[in-house]
Amino acid sequence: MLALVMSSLTGLLRQILVANTFGTQADIDAFNAANRVSETLFTLIAGGALASAFIPVFTDLITHERRQYAWKLASSIANIILVVLIFASVVAFIFAPWIVRNLLAPGFSDNPAQEELTVSLLRLMLPAAILFGLSGLLMGILNSHQIFFIPALAPSMYQLGMIIGILALAPFAGIYGLAWGVVLGAGLHLGLQIPYLFRLNAKYYPTFGLDNVDVQEVIRLIIPRLFGVAVVQLNFWVNTFIASRLVEGSLTGIVFAFALMLMPQAAIAQSIAIAAMPTFSAQVALGKLGEMRSSLASSLRGVLFLSIPAALGLILLREPLVTTLYQRGAFDERSTELVAWALLWFGLGLVSHSVVEILARAFYALHDTRTPVLVGVAAMSLNMILSFSLVGMFARAGWMPHGGLALANTIATSLEMVGLFILMRRRLGGLEGLTILKGFSSALFGGIVMAVILFGWITITGSQPDWLVVLGGVVFGALVYGILLLVMGVSEARTLIQAISARLGVS
C-alpha cells in the first residue's frame, strides 16, 4: 500500500505538470486518444489478463517445489508475449491513420492537424506496450514470491519517465516530449524489477512451450479473461469515440477525473488485492478453502472501511481538490469544471471498483477466469449502452454530456460488484456475510457522520484558499472517521493502532 501511495503521488505530480503545461486543449486530447492504443495492447496481452492466469499456475508450481517447471513456464510466456506484442505493434503502426479515423477518434476528422498529431503520437508510443508487456510478467513473478513493494513501486517509475518528458523534453518538443516520456517510463518500469529477478535465481529457456501443460493451462485461463479485458478496453474506446465528438477538453476531463478516482482505489483495493491473491492461490493449491473464505471476508471488510469514506470525501471535496491540484498555467476554470463534473459521477463508483478488484482476484485464485469475465462482459455491455443514452440525457438536461460517461461506468461497475459477490458466496458455500455486513454498516454510519461534518467544514471555509479547504477537510474528516470506528469497537481500527504503536516502539 505504501508503494502504491508513492506511485499515486508521483502520478499526481505528473498530472499536475501535464495540466499546467497542456490544460485541456486539443493536443492533450490527441495524446490521450493515441495513448489508448498502446495501453490496450499492453492490457490485452500482458496486463491484468496475464496476471490473473499466470500467478495461480506459477504459484502452484512454486508451492509444490517444482521450480524448474515454474521458470520454464515463465520463459515460455515471456517469449510468447514478446512475439505477439511486436507483431501487434507493427500492425498498429501501419494502420494507425485508419485506426484513428474510424475506430478511435472520428471526431478529430474535423481538425486534420489534430488527427495527424494523434497518428504520430500513436506510432511513437507503441514501443511502450512491448516494454510494459515484459514488465507485467515480471510483476506476476515477483508477486508470486511474496515480493510486493518493488512491483508496486514500478508504476512510479513510469510516472517519473513522463515527468522527465514534460520537464526536459516538452519545452522544445511540445506534446511529443510527453510521448517520449511514456516510452522512457515504460523502460524504467521494466528496469526497476530486473535486478530482483536475478535475486530469485531465475532461469531462462528459449522456448514457446506450446506443448507444455502448464503453458496450456495459462492459455486456457487467459482466453476468457482476455475476452473480458477486451470488453473493458472496448468501453474505453467507446468513451474516446464519444468524447471526441463533444466539446474540446471532454476527453481529457474524463481521463483526469478517472485518474483521480483510481488513486484512492489503487492505494486501497489494488494494494490489498495484489497482496492477497498469492495467498488465495496458495490456500486453493493446498485445498484450504475455509481459510480462503476467511481471508476474502477480511479483505472485503478492509476495503469497505477504507473506500466508503474515501468516496464521500472525494465527492464533497472534488471542486477545491481539482482547483488546488491543477488550476494553473494552461489549466483554467473551465478545465476545472470539466474534471470536477466527471469526478462527481466517478466518485460514486469508487466503492464498487474497489470491491470488484478483490472479488475478481479471488475467482482467479480459484482458477476460474470464466465467471468474472461473463459478469464483467454483461456489466461492460450495459456500460456501452448507458454511455450513449446517458450522454444524450445529460445534454437534454442542460448538463455537461461527458458526465454521462462517468455515470455509466459507475452504474455498470456497481452491478458487476453485486453479481460477483453473489456468485462467490455460492462458490465458497458462504462468505461470512454477517461479518461483512457489520463492517459495511459501521463504515457507512461513520462515513455519513464524517460527510455531514465535512460538509459543514466546506461551508464554513468557503471563502478560504482551496488548498486549506482540502487539507483541513482530509485531516479533519479522517480524524472524525477514525474516532468513530474506535468508539464503535471496530477490530480493524484497533489493530491498525496497535500495528502503528508497535512499529513506533510505543507500548
Q: Each residue of 453-501: pLDDT tens digit? A: 999 999 998 788 888 999 999 998 999 998 998 888 888 777 777 766 7
Average per-residue pLDDT in the chain?
86
**Among 366, 343, 336, 359, CA closest to 262:** 343
Question: Grid coordinates 485506426 are at which residue?
Answer: 99
Q: Residue 450: its pLDDT value, please?
A: 94
* Tens of pLDDT, residues 408-459: 999 999 999 999 999 999 988 888 888 889 889 999 999 999 999 999 999 9
Long-range contact list for 335-339, CB < 8 A, 24+ apart? 335/19, 335/23, 335/24, 335/249, 335/252, 335/253, 337/400, 338/24, 338/249, 338/250, 338/252, 338/253, 338/400, 338/402, 339/24, 339/253, 339/256, 339/257, 339/260
Does residue 261 register a pLDDT over 60? yes
Over residues 214-228, the mean pLDDT reads: 79
Yes or no: say if 185 and 7 are a contact pair by the CB < 8 Å rule. no
The structure's pTM equals: 0.74
Residue 247, CB-side half-sphere exposure with 13 Å CA sphere? 13
* Tens of pLDDT, residues 166-202: 999 999 899 999 999 999 999 998 999 888 888 888 8
Over residues 332-359, the mean pLDDT reads: 93
Q: Which residues contact 151 (CB under 8 A, 6 or more apart)?
A: 138, 139, 142, 143, 193, 274
C-alpha distance from residue 436 to each of 415, 432, 494 (Å)? 18, 6, 17
Q: Residue 317: its pLDDT value, please?
A: 94
Q: Residue 448: its pLDDT value, please?
A: 94
* Tens of pLDDT, residues 24-80: 778 888 888 888 887 777 666 655 556 667 778 888 888 787 888 888 988 998 898
**Among 257, 261, 250, CA closest to 400:** 250
Q: Which three cell numbers stand for residue 58?
A: 506459477
Domain residue spans in the chain? 1-244, 246-434
